[in-house]
Structure 1
Amino acid sequence: MKSWKVREIVVMSVISVVFAVIYLLFTHFGNVLAGFFGPMGYEPIYGIWFIVSIIAAYIIRKPGAALISETIAAFVECLLGNPSGPMVIVVGLVQGLGAEAVFLAARWRVYSLPILLLAGMGSSVTSFIYDLFVAGYAALSPGYLLLMLTIRLFSGALLAGLLGKVISDSLAYTGVLNGMALGKELKKKRKQVSQHAGF
């Protein structure tokens, strides 16, 4: 993290802590859904647990942002009392790796909506592989697993990729991210629009 600025580290840490609280709330909500629908109950909302990696990466645009932010969020979530205990940190690492792999494939240069959607889906894939071996999903029928994976992929794309972009853009428009890569990009676009409009 040598090339990281102090402000970027602070912003990433704050975002991670905020979403650690949200993650824990959704964990309890997911447990309720699982009580009614079994393992499938988690799938429609699973993408929410990837969102901090998308937001941090999209805002800061530096290698490691997705992985580190997701890991910090998981660590804080563990401290707040996640039922899984320290294992939630491993889960955070696995989820962060899935998103980071997509940004790596784009060489941390492209942060378009398709890339953000793919990053959310990347976390869906790595987390699903993890669940196959650790959560016992491998014992479920192939058809059921395919349905679960399909729903998780959509959830990762929409609740992490798309919603993460919407939240980040909304924050950027307020001006609080002016010192971040996303804020600078938005400022540049506004300047270009003004020039084209003749202002």
Structure 2
Amino acid sequence: MKRWKLREVVVLAALSVVFAVVYLAFLQFGNVLVGLMGPIGYEFIFGIWFIVSIIAAYIIRKPGAAFVSETITAAIELLMGNVAGPRLLLSGMIQGLGAEAVFAATGWQRYSTWVLVCAGMGSAVFSFVWGFFVSGYAALHPGYVTAMFILRLISGAVLAGLLGKGVADGLAKTGVLRGFAIAKSARKREHHDIAG
């Protein structure tokens, strides 16, 4: 197993801080949606709370990147004022495990768009199962719960998987990720396209 480099740790920490702020901001937006639509309102944007795990894993491409980034982000979010307490930390860990499970299934070797989308959906599945038990979804109508689950899957695929890939690719194009696995992979693709 490859050792983590200091720059990878620094980037993971920086991403965690940035997305703790993003997560807090979306919490307020989510509360507005819930006020308008009920519990299902969160599901439209739930994928945003998985995005750091996708970005970190896609950039660093090492075991644990998804799990650790999501866990640290949740811890920072707590320190910044989220009042959810220890439950938030557990939620972050579970969301990170959902993404990590997908990357683990590929042996941490594949980071295609499809894998990133599946990782976002993995976070959606893990978080929904957790939420089902701790948030009382069982008291809701089964059809409503099914709609919530489908929306969370879509949100995980789009807001975490696709948007996460877009954000990371955008960062890579600026050159700030030179020397990271994502940049090396992009160079290989370019070389293959030129040779082909």
The answer, yes or no, to whether TM exceeds 0.5 is yes
SS state of the match for residue 3, structure 1?
coil
Q: Which residue does 1:65 correspond to in 2?
A: 65
Q: Which residue does 1:30 correspond to in 2?
A: 30
Q: Which residue does 1:125 correspond to in 2?
A: 125
Larger deviation, residues 30-39 vs 56-65: 30-39
The structural deviation recorded for 1:184 is 1.2
Q: Which residue does 1:190 correspond to in 2?
A: 190
Alignment partners' CA distance in 2, 1:33 and 1:172: 33
Alignment partners' CA distance in 2, 1:2 and 1:79: 31
Alignment partners' CA distance in 1, 2:2 and 2:104: 18
C-alpha distance after superposition, 1:140-174 (max 9, x if no partner) = 11111100000000000000000000110111111
* Matched-pair identity in %: 60
Change (3 A) 1:195 1:2: closer
Tell me the number of residue pairs that the alignment of Structure 1 and Structure 2 aligns: 196
Alignment partners' CA distance in 2, 1:107 and 1:167: 23
- Residues 1:77 and 2:77 are matched in the alignment: yes
SS state of the match for residue 122, structure 1?
helix
Letter in 1 for 2:11: V
Alignment partners' CA distance in 1, 2:115 and 2:81: 33
Q: Which residue does 2:153 correspond to in 1?
A: 153
Structure 2, unpaired ranges of 5+? none
- TM-score of the superposition, structure 2-length normalised? 0.96
Aligned alpha-carbon RMSD (Å): 1.3
- TM-score of the superposition, structure 1-length normalised? 0.95
Structure 1, unpaired ranges of 5+? none
Q: Which residue does 2:88 correspond to in 1?
A: 88
Alignment partners' CA distance in 1, 2:153 and 2:190: 34
Q: Which residue does 1:20 correspond to in 2?
A: 20
